A and B are shown apart, each in its own frame.
Chain A
Amino acid sequence: MELRDIISKSVPTKVKSDATVADALVAMTENKTDYVLVDRVDSNDAYGIVTRWDIVGKAIAEGEDITKTAAVAVARKPLVVTNNMDLDLRWVAKKMADEGVSKVAVFDREVFLGFVSDLDVIAATLRKHPKEGKEVSA
């Protein structure tokens, strides 16, 4: 099973580059997603990504006022990316584990295809071994 097979072409939720943590939190909750992209200022800038973990661990845990702290301050920036569509899922999982992230951005040459999440990888690995009633109940 390769990266090519599991990439979902969903459009990620974005917040402005000057958004606060509270904006990111609201955008995340209202769009029922667990991450938002922080837009870049210009074409030389990098995109950032904010996950629930970033908000909890870096803003709330440090006692920051989330309506004042900038989202980029807690964002992971630049993104963890991969551009090898033939990569085996094992190495996608390894990359996530090594970098300590749960979302990897996938590019095919210059074209952004979307994010692949840890749950996508687990679901795809399970599909490789279809359910066998006996083994599961044993």
Chain B
Amino acid sequence: MRVTKLILKDIVKTFELPTIDRSETAKKAAEMMLETHCNHLLVPRHTKHEAYGIVTKKDILAKVIAEGRDLREVKVEDIMSRPLVILTNLSLDIRWVAKAMANSNVSAIVVFDKGDFYGYVTESCIIDGVYNAMRRAKLEEGVDFVSC
């Protein structure tokens, strides 16, 4: 059973990420992450000449808490990453999606389809996609899926 049959379009999540303004505090960002159970927040741009940003739980952990700074005083714009890492080829094999994540050392990639926002993909999308593909393959063989 190979996983290489999966392409980006099979695993991408098409709903939008929660957004947070970059003038908000890191505390607000952490609260939103815990409330929405989403580890990534999109930071919208103010003018169209700017780049979108993204803030993750790793940013909060490594750049605020580990440095002993106060969550209430740090602004999102100080810890966010931008510009985003994006992919535009929806038929890309998930191997190369995984490689793009590993190369850029990010946990979320934003996906555009011909210039329009399409969705995003995280490492858990890849894991879920592979799990479901393995399960389907087993079911097609007529074997009840037995976990280890």
Contact = CB atoms under 8 A, between A and B. Distances in A.
A135 B72 contact: yes
Interface string B47-74: 0000000000110111001111001100
A16 B147 CA distance: 13
Contacts of A25: 127, 130-131, 134
B66 A126 contact: no
Interface of B: 1-4, 25, 27-28, 30-31, 33-34, 39, 57-58, 60-62, 65-68, 71-72, 94-96, 98-99, 101-102, 107, 123-124, 126-128, 130-131, 134, 147-148
B30 A66 contact: no
Interface in A53-86: 53, 55-58, 60-63, 65-67
A133 B28 CA distance: 11
A15 B148 contact: yes
Contacts of B68: 90
B71 A126 contact: yes
A97 B71 CA distance: 17
A66 B127 contact: no
Interface residues of A, number: 44
B129 to A, nearest CB: 10
Where chain B touches its partner, the secondary structure class is helix
Contacts of B71: 125-126, 129
Nearest to B28: A136
Given A126-B30, A126-B34, A96 B66 contact: yes
B140 to A, nearest CB: 16
A27 B58 CA distance: 25
B134 A26 contact: yes
A111 interface: no
A129 B72 contact: yes
A93 B66 contact: yes
Interface in A1-54: 15-16, 19, 22-23, 25-30, 34, 52-53
B66 A56 contact: no
